[in-house]
Each structure stands twice: as C-alpha cells, then as structure tokens.
Chains A and B, each alone.
Chain A
Amino acid sequence: MIKIESITIKEMRGIRDLSLTLGNEPFVISGPNGSGKSGVVDAIQFVLTGEMGRLKGAGTADITLADHGPHVEKRDDPGAASVTLNVFIPHLEKKASITRTIKKAKTPQITPSDAAVKAVFAELADHSEVTLSRREIIKFILTEAAKRSRDVQTLLKLDAIDETRATLKTTENKLGVEQTTAKTVSEAAEDNLKRHLDLAALRAEDVLAAVNKHRQVLGLRVLAELTKDTDVSQGMEQGDAEAADGQNKESALADVATVIQLTDAGLETPTQATVSALLKDYAAIHADPDLLSKIRRQPFLQTGLELVDGPQCPLCDRSWDIQALRTHLQAKLRVSVQAQATRDRVVDGGNAIAAAALRLREQFSLVAKLPEVDAESASRLQHWAGELLTFAEGLRSFDGVMAASERIEAGWAKAPRALGADLKDLRSRVKARPDKSATEQARSFLVIAQERLESVRRSRRELEEKKANAARGRAAYKAYCDVSEKALTFLYEQVEEEFAAFYRLINHDDEGEFKAKLEPADGKLDLRVDFHKKGMFPPGAYHSEGHQDGMGVCLYLALMKHVMGANFTFAVLDDVVMSVDADHRKKFCKLLKTHFPDTQFIITTHDQVWARQIRSEGLIGAKAAVAFHHWTVETGPVLDEVAEIWDRIDADLAKNEVPTAAARLRRHLEYVAADLADELGAKVKFRADGGYDMGELLSSVIARQGELLKQAAKAAKSWGDGEQAKKIEAFQKARSAILTAKGGEEWVVNKAIHYNEWANLSRNDFKPVVSAFRDVLQQFRCAKPKCDSWLSVTPRNEPIDLRCSCGTVRFNLKEK
C-alpha cells in the first residue's frame, strides 16, 4: 500500500515539532518510557485514519480528539496540530503526501490529488490496525472467545459479512411472514367458497356438481370441466346477474351457522397449540427480567446497527469510531442468542394467531353485511370484526404479543356475550326470509359462487407467488451462509497454519512442533495452542507472558498477511515484544526479514538492547533509527537522530548555539558508545541499572577496536594473506593518525569524560571537538554511503570476523 519516506509532526499530543526521515525502510524509534515514542505512533495513526486509538475506548469518556489531540499548549488551536507523511506507493510507483490537522481531521490534504492516490489513502483509513501496540496484540491471545472473534473480525474486516448475513436473515423472515399472511387469506377465501357450495373440500368434480345443479335450474349449459378461467355463472344475462344482488338464503345461513359454531366451540381452538407454546414463553420471560430486557434491546440494536452509516452520531453530531461501534453492536446482538430464539418464537406465535384472527374477522365481516342485521347488531359485529383486526395487527411485533398475553391466556377470540345473542337472532331472521323462486335462488347462488371462486383463484395465485418469494429468501440466506462459512473456515485454516509456522520459527528451540487451532462457532473464535505436545490449551493456560507476546505478534502478522496480502507494505509495532527474551527477539527479527521483506516495520521500543539487536540482526540499516532521550512539555521529545546528527550540530554552531550543539553531541556519543560497545563486544563493568558512563564506554570501545585490529593483523599473517595485512595496516595507520593527531586515545577519553565543560566553550573552541569525534567515529563505520553501518564482530560470542553490514570492510579474526 505505502511506505513512509518521512514524517513531520507539529503540535500533536506530546510533540512540538519533529521531523523524521525513514527512507521507505524499516526504522526503529527507541527511548525510555515517557520520551515521546508513542506520540509518533499516534501521529501516524492519526494522519492515516483521522483517529487516535489511544483517545478511544475504556477510560476515555471525557477525552476527545478535538480537545486533547493538540499539544497541551495548543489545545485552543487545533489547526496548528498537524501531521504530514511523505510516502511512496509501490504498486503505483508514485510518491505522495498526506497532511491532516486536528481541526479538519476528516478532510486530509492529499497530493497528488488523483483518484488512484486518494483510493490508497481511503483504504488505509480503514486499516487502523497497521499501528499495533502490545495492548492490542495481546487481545488476540488473552481474551474470551467471543471478544477474540470480534477483534479478529474487525481486523479481517469481516463485520460486513455479518451485516449481510443479518440483512438476508431479515429478508427471509419478512418473506416468510408475507407467505403466512397470504396463506391465511387464501384459506379464508377457500372456507367461504366451501361454505357457500356446502362442500368439505374443493375438488373440481364436487364444485362442478354443486354449480351445475343450479345452472340446470336456470337452463344453462352443464359445465364439463373446471379450468382456471371457468366462470360458473357464464350464460346468465347481465341483468339477471345484477338482480341476484349476491344474496342467497342458504349461503347466508351457512355463513351465520359457521360463526355460531365457532363461537360455541371456542374460537381460539385452531390456535390452541400455538397458544400453549406462547404461554410457556410468557412464563419464561416473566420469570427472568434480564431475558425480557435483552429481547427488547435486540431490535433497538439492530436498528442502531443499520443507522450507523456515517462518521457522526445523527443525534449529537459527535464523531464516532464507526467500525468500533458496529463491532460493539454486533457483539451485543450475538451474545443474546437465547433471547433472539425466544423473541423469534414469540413473534412467530403472534403471527400465527394474527392470521387466525384475520380469518375469523373475514367470517364476521361476511355475516355483518347480511340485510337482516339491524343497525345495533351490525355495529356490534363490525366493532368485533374491527377488534379482531386491531388485535391481529397488534401481534405483528414482539411487544404487541407481550401486551396481548392476558387476552391470549384468557382466550383471545372470546366474543362478547351480546354477540352470541345477535348471531342467533340473525340466524332466525335469515331463516325467516321469504323463499325466493328456484330460479332467483339459482342466480344468486351462481353469482356468489363465481365471486368466491375468483377470490380463491386470486388468493391462491398470490400465495404461490409468496411461496416462491419465501423459497428464494430461504435459498439466498442458505447460499450466503454456506459460502461465507466455507470461505471463513478456509481463511481461518490458512491463518492458523501461518500463525503456527511463524511461532515455530521464533521458538524453534523449545516449541519446534507447535500447532494452533482457530475454531469459529456461534460468533466465537476459539483459539487452542499446543503446549509441548501435552495437548491443546487456551494460550494463557501454560505459556509464559513472553510466549504469549510472541503468539500475539505472530497471529497479528498472519492475519495481516491475509487481510492485506501484497499491500502489507508497512506496519507500526509499538513496543510489542517487551516480554520476549533476547534470543527469541533475534528470531523475531529473522521472521520479519525473511517472511516480510517488503514490509516497512516501524518499531518503537524502550529497550536499547532490543533497538541495537534489531540493527545487528540486519533488520534495519545503520542510520534507520532515532533515539529519544527524554521529553519535556516545552520541547517534546529530545532526540538523537543518527542519520543527521552532524548536520544538526553544524546548524547549531552556525547559529552560535554551542550549548545546544554540545548537548546534542553528548547525547549522540552516549547513544553511539553503547551501540559500539555492543557491536564490538567491548569489555565494560556490568551495571544492573544500565547506567553506563559515556567516557568509560568510549574508552573501552576504542581499546577494543585496537585489540581487534591487532588480532586481524595476526590472523592475516598466519594465513599469509599479504593483501589483507596491508589493508589492516592502512586502517591502523589512519586510525592512529586521527587519534595521535589529537593527542592519543587519552585525549578522546578525557574530552568525553569532561563533556560537562563543552557547553561553556566558544564556538571556535568547540568546533575542533566536534570535528575530532566525527573523525573518530568514522573509523568505526563503513565508508560506503549506502552501507554506512557500524563495524561489528560476528559471531558475537567467539568472533571470527570484524565487518560492516555490506562486507566492504571485513577483517578475519581467526588465525590459521
């Protein structure tokens, strides 16, 4: 994706004004705790994402980027707090820059402003995980399975998969409800036709027999078959059909009788099984207030998840971390599996009863229209039909079904007593209708039969469509689940293999057969790791803190490899292996070098030994490091830039700022002396607190170099290698010239010891001091500009070579 060429940070967090040149290569920032290293990490994260992870999450309720992102002295001037990255984009082979200020955190300035470059930064904005702290890596390891699943999903950008799955599930449910409703309407239409024809079932031959009987009365042709277009009243005169006005005594009596029968038998009978199941769920919910609370929050969370679609809260307009909020809401949805199941059952039960209520309403509506119904009864019947509709509509939500619990328990369809009397009175009145002529009765019978037959046909077509739609909804959901499960299983298998391979590389000595297993299930991601072939255990069960740190980094690297592939071109590792011992860190360097040769790792550490080890293992070049010495509110980090130290000292002296130049040189020598002591294996008195004196270190380093050169000369002689002997002699001469010209090695040592006096020197007195140390230090490094590495001994315990990184300087130390 990108590599960082340089970074400039102004008035951001603890940094006032800092520029670092990284040169698109791995880079180390070292320094004690509180020296400002993490400010650089925050700045990189901010310029790329517009956010700062440190200012979010637990314990940061009163902290905001706008208020607390700028340096404390600039907290009222967020426009002054800025970060600029100059980068190289390998796949575009282009240079670009991005600048972001706290004031306009959402709108970075990108140059060049072309679509391809902007797309790169847009994608990076979605990958805050390129900066990684120990706090973050360990969360992949030491966490419960559900949280690990969330964190890993966030890292792998899998949230969108869950969202799509939820959308397809809701779709399936909605189409299912539509089918159920259509079925109810269709069954009600069939009931009406069956009742009118006085049939128990709608078999074609029975329907034809019923209608033909009446057609014959009218002298109409007998219908031989019933097709989807058959009009059972065909052949009737238009006027006859209208005169029949749809009223038929037998049919009306049948409609009234059905309603009375239902009333007598208990109207809710067809839903008895559903009611029984609902009563059990009611009891469970009432017994557990927590369950009810979880169920009620489900749709709220689901709605919230759908509405989280912008960078700001739609209510208070404050910025939020959209990814974190989505993950949080999804996690809450996942943990209530039981609540979701109960909720689904209750809603399904409500839908079934609603369907029955609507069918019942249809029947009441039919009889309410009969001409014998007086105004008062009509009002009661219509009111009851309306009641049933309201009741049914109320059952379309969970809360509605809960609110109806008393009515459902008591008998949801229990009609008012007066209604029973109304119906019986109605039956008497319909019976009392004067008998119409046979032809009039036949006409009205056929007109109603045709109306109801059409209604059945319409509702059946509708039902077929809804069935097909529901089948598509089920098929789509199943297909997505199958495909995503397969893809995720494959992904996790790849990640676990890579993770274990990385870990084995670091811990080859004691866990060379390490295995790991990532198991996704029910919104959880279980991680089990092998412990010395004694079985598979949670990572925190037996492994040490250092091993867990190692696992965290390995899992992170394996995940990133799969998330970003070839685009994993840079990552910031913020003090991530602090619990790993020196030997394993060495192998960690090897892992980064061999498996991620194209990734620019920016590593921060408070451990100078680790910082040196990164260089001695060749993960970074000689100049690819900066050491932060200390930090003050006024200055921000005070640092020693290995690469540009002499230029900076010259600049100080040009401005006659001798104390600044003196402090810079002193810090540089402190840093370099420790480095060189380590690189050359100089003998110094061990100090448990690491508080080595710069003068003592430098003295030992110079002495050690002299010893090594003598040893190299002896070795060359023993091999009869005249050419090498000449090279060494030349080197020794040059070295002596530098040292003796200044009064011998003692001079350097004395100057180093008395560095406290430097600040009081005049510019002209101090310049030779600077020049002398520059010359001295040059004797310890390769002169080739591209290499410029310190000379070091290899192997460290029993050296056989004194050499630079590129091999231009190489002195054999082993005699024949």
Chain B
Amino acid sequence: MPKIEDEILARFFQELEQTEGFSRERVDNLRALFKAGKKPKATDVVKVLSETPKDQLP
C-alpha cells in the first residue's frame, strides 16, 4: 500500500510537470532526489532548481 507521503509526492511531481519552469528533466531530477526513503537536503534541491536544462545554452 503506497504511503501517504509517497502519494503526495507523486501528485506534487505531476503538478510540477504542469508548472512553468519545470522541464521533464528537472522534475525527473527532483523525483530522483526524493526517491522513496531519501531525505534530501535543501542545498541539493537548490542545485536541481538552479540547473540549466541540457537543451538550453547557459
């Protein structure tokens, strides 16, 4: 049975995929960061949210 926090995370990522500024790649990176059981630090999340997508020139 999926845990409530996992259900919330799944919906959270779905929501982000529809949000401007969140490419599929960025959401996938976030998803990997929050993978079941992981507790990422804020600095790791900052890094993912600040990354330049690979399909864009810096």
User: A: which residues have CB within 8 A of B?
Assistant: 156-158, 160-161, 163-164, 167-168, 170-171, 174-175, 178, 306, 309, 465, 468-469, 471-473, 475-476, 479-480, 482-484, 487-488, 491, 564-567
Contact = CB atoms under 8 A, between A and B. Distances in A.
A161 B42 contact: no
Contact of A168 (B4, B20, B45): B45
8 contacts: A171-B46, A174-B42, A175-B46, A465-B52, A472-B21, A476-B49, A479-B16, A565-B1
Nearest to A170: B42
Interface string B16-30: 100111100010001
A475 B49 CA distance: 11
Contacts of A471: 21
A564 B45 CA distance: 30
Given A164-B34, A473-B49, A156 B42 contact: no
B12 to A, nearest CB: 5
- Which of B3, B15, B19, B49 has the most C-beta atoms of chain A within 10 angstroms of its own C-beta? B49
A407 B3 CA distance: 51
Contact of B42 (A171, A468, A567): A171
Contacts of B7: 487
B11 interface: yes
Contacts of A306: 39, 41
Contacts of A567: 1
A167 B8 contact: no
Given A167-B40, A567-B1, A475 B11 contact: no
Nearest to B15: A479
Given A469-B49, A473-B49, A487 B8 contact: yes
B49 to A, nearest CB: 5
B39 A483 contact: no
A471 B19 CA distance: 11
- Chain B interface helix/strand/loop/mixed: helix
A172 B20 CA distance: 16
A108 B37 CA distance: 21
Shortest beta-carbon contacts, A-B, top 4:
A170-B42, A160-B5, A171-B45, A479-B15
Given A161-B5, A469-B50, A567-B1, 14 more contacts: A161-B4, A163-B39, A164-B34, A174-B43, A175-B49, A465-B50, A472-B21, A472-B49, A475-B20, A479-B15, A480-B12, A483-B11, A483-B12, A491-B4
Interface residues of B, number: 28
A167 B46 CA distance: 10
B4 A487 contact: yes
A566 B5 contact: no
A312 to B, nearest CB: 17
Given A475-B19, A475-B21, A157 B49 contact: no
A483 B9 CA distance: 8
B15 A157 contact: no
A579 to B, nearest CB: 32
A158 B4 contact: yes
B53 to A, nearest CB: 11
Given A309-B39, A476-B16, A161 B8 contact: yes
A528 to B, nearest CB: 23
A484 B19 contact: no
Nearest to B3: A157
Contact of A468 (B5, B19, B21, B39): B21
- Which of B7, B15, B30 has the most C-beta atoms of chain A within 10 angstroms of its own C-beta? B15
Nearest to A461: B58
- Which of A168, A174, A468, A472 has the most C-beta atoms of chain B within 10 angstroms of its own C-beta? A472
A356 to B, nearest CB: 24
A191 B46 CA distance: 30
Given A468-B21, A476-B49, A484 B8 contact: yes
A240 B7 CA distance: 66
A495 B6 CA distance: 19
Contacts of A491: 4
A488 B21 CA distance: 27
B46 A487 contact: no
A164 B19 contact: no
Given A171-B45, A175-B46, A482 B5 contact: no
A475 B21 CA distance: 9
Contact of B5 (A158, A174, A465, A565): A158
A468 B26 CA distance: 13
A107 to B, nearest CB: 19
Contacts of B45: 167-168, 171, 476
A306 B21 CA distance: 28
A480 B4 CA distance: 13
A479 B5 contact: no
Contacts of A309: 39
A473 B42 CA distance: 11
A479 B4 contact: no
Contacts of B15: 479, 482-483
A163 B11 CA distance: 17
A170 B42 CA distance: 6
A192 B50 CA distance: 28
Contacts of A468: 21
A685 to B, nearest CB: 54
A115 B55 CA distance: 40
A474 to B, nearest CB: 10
Contacts of B41: 167, 306
Contacts of B20: 475
Contacts of A472: 21-22, 26, 49
Contact of B1 (A465, A476, A480, A564): A564
Nearest to A470: B49
Contacts of B21: 468, 471-472, 475
A169 B21 CA distance: 18
Contacts of B4: 156-158, 161, 487-488, 491
Nearest to A168: B45
Contact of A174 (B3, B19, B34, B46): B46
- Which of A473, A483, A491 has the most C-beta atoms of chain B within 10 angstroms of its own C-beta? A483
Contacts of A480: 8, 12
A300 to B, nearest CB: 16
Contacts of A488: 4
Contacts of A174: 42-43, 46
Nearest to B58: A465
Contacts of B26: 472
A149 to B, nearest CB: 15
Contacts of A483: 8, 11-12, 15
Contacts of A163: 39
Nearest to A469: B50
B23 to A, nearest CB: 10
A564 B2 CA distance: 9
Nearest to A308: B39
Nearest to B30: A476
Contacts of B8: 161, 480, 483-484, 487
B32 to A, nearest CB: 15
Contacts of A565: 1
Contact of B19 (A171, A479, A564, A566): A479
Given A479-B12, A487-B11, A164 B5 contact: yes
Contacts of A160: 3, 5, 39
Nearest to A162: B5
A686 B26 CA distance: 76
Contacts of B39: 160, 163, 167, 306, 309
Contacts of A564: 1
A471 B22 CA distance: 10
B9 to A, nearest CB: 7
A546 B1 CA distance: 34
